[in-house]
Structure 1
Amino acid sequence: MHFPNLARLDISESFIKRMKTLKTAHSVTLAFWAGLNILVSSVFLFHTEALHFYFFTMNISWNVVNAFVAVFLYAHHNDVFDRPISNLHQMEYQKHIEKAMVFNIGLDMTYIATGFAMYYYGDLPQVLHNELWLGFGISVILQGSYLLIQDMVFYKLHRKNHSKVYPYWENLLLG
């Protein structure tokens, strides 16, 4: 397959635009989820007791961290993608993003498993403060499940973006 210079520039630029859009959307989606959780959980926190109190407390705590992560990622990605990027760096960024997404998906599954472990631990009759363990466990399961879905969707979108530019990169490398 032959790519004229103009077409190469268009392919490269459109890849970067799509990647920046994906990274921005990922950060904004996480920020929206965090804000919604903080808002809703704050309202319900003071109108519940026991298990639900701990559930909403963990939701707030977890999503304060999510909000900071989202702001950091948004600023970082906009800084990175606002600079000119060579084809080699595009390939490196794509590889890095895919590895990071796979790592995050594994981490999300670990969150879910930890949430279930906390929940089942809290369900044991001899455990002190079982409402805390149950509430925290349910919250961690919820947060991990959301992150797993989000990360899987964005991983798939990044792979789709990669597939659009891969023939160009292959032609570039093989000459």
Structure 2
Amino acid sequence: MLRRLSSLALCLLAANGLAAQQLPSPATEFQAQRTLLDQHGMLVLGGWALGNVGVSGARYFATEGREKYFHQMNVGWGVVNLALAGTSLWATRRPPAAATDRPTLVRTQLRTENLYLFNAGLDVAYLATGLYLRERAASRPTVRRQQQLRGYGQSLLLQGGFLLAFDGLMFAAHHRHASRSLYPLLSGLQIGPGTVALTLPIR
């Protein structure tokens, strides 16, 4: 009986040690590759934003009516996306924390994937809003207001469509990366709603 209790105590101590241990080198490499994925994604987003600011910024002064409002909205989206991409790229320049345990790494990965899924839901809302504005334009009392709503609606369809494709591809890239490089390292982990636990067999 005493031997069995001693063995159980040793297993519990080992579990606590494993839960707090530093990540092995494959996990460190995984973090570096995840950061590289984020950097590439933000470069794509930043390039799209620069294109919107440059092209639509020039076309805004050369067009009238619906097209003018279309380019106006594109410039606004470009400025916002450029700020987001720049801020994210700056954040990825900072080295990750030196000590990261396994549950923290998994939570960070799931948070990243969920963020892109949440953004994809917002993108669908942008598309729906664009369609609504285009339909709403016909009932406006003035030509100027009709052109404004049509231009803004068309811009929302363009920006929402791009962002939906972008967020979908980023989610797929991060999920595929984790499936290949992270989850095989975590065969002893159980993931549930709001919890990450390490399990070890005692016999």
Provide TM-score, normalisation by structure 1: 0.88
1:139 equivalent to 2:155? Answer: yes
1:68-79 mapped onto 2 (5 Å cutoff): 68-79=83-94
Rounded to whole Å, the distance in 1 between the matches of 2:176 and 2:142 is 48
Q: What residue number does 2:187 align with? A: 170
Output the amino acid matched with 1:32: G
Is residue 12 of structure 1 aligned with residue 9 of structure 2?
A: no
* 2:137 is the alignment partner of 1:99: no
How many residues are paired up? 167
Which deviates more from structure 2 when the two are superposed, residues 149-158 or residues 83-92? 83-92
Q: Which of 70, 77, 96 is matched with 1:82 structurally?
A: 96
Shift of 1:60: 0.2
Q: In structure 1, what is the Cα distance between the partners aligned to 2:146 and 2:70?
A: 12
Percent identity between the two aligned chains: 28
Please tell me the residue identity of whatever aligns with 1:169.
L
| Residue 62 of structure 1 pairs with residue 77 of structure 2 | yes
Instruction: Trace 1:39-54 onto structure 2 (pairs within 5 A).
Output: 39-54=54-69
Candidates 163, 170, 173, aligned match of 1:157: 173
AA aligned to 1:83 is A
The structure with more helix, counted as a fraction of residues: 1
Shift of 1:48: 0.6
- The 1:127/1:121 distance shift into structure 2, 3 A limit, reads farther
| 1:130 pairs with 2:146 | yes
Which of the two has higher C-alpha Rg? 2
What displacement does 1:46 show?
Answer: 1.1
**Deviation by residue 1:131-171 (Cα, 9 ceiling, x = unmatched):** 00000000011001100000000100010011011021123
Asked whether the equivalents of residues 56 and 139 of structure 1 are also in contact (C-alpha less than 8 Å), the reply is yes
Higher relative contact order (CA 8 A, sep 6+): 1
Contact kept? 1:111, 1:141, Cα under 8 Å:
yes
Matches within 5 A, 1:103-118: 103-118=118-133
Report the CA distance between 1:62 and its aligned residue.
1.1
Q: TM-score, normalised by structure 2?
A: 0.77
CA drift of 1:10 comes to 3.2
Q: What are structure 2's unaligned runs of at least 5 residues? A: 1-22, 190-197
Q: CA deviation at 1:83?
A: 2.8
Distance 1:113 1:151 in 2: 17
Return 109-118 or 69-78, whichever deviates more.
Answer: 69-78
Deviation at 1:78, TM superposition (A): 3.2
User: 142-151 vs 16-25, which deviates more?
Assistant: 16-25
Which blocks of at least 5 consecutive residues in structure 1 are unaligned?
A: 1-7
Write the distance in 1 (CA, Å) between the matches of 2:124 and 2:51.
22
Report the AA paired with residue 92 of structure 1. R
Q: Deviation of residue 42 (structure 1)?
A: 1.2
Q: CA deviation at 1:96?
A: 0.6
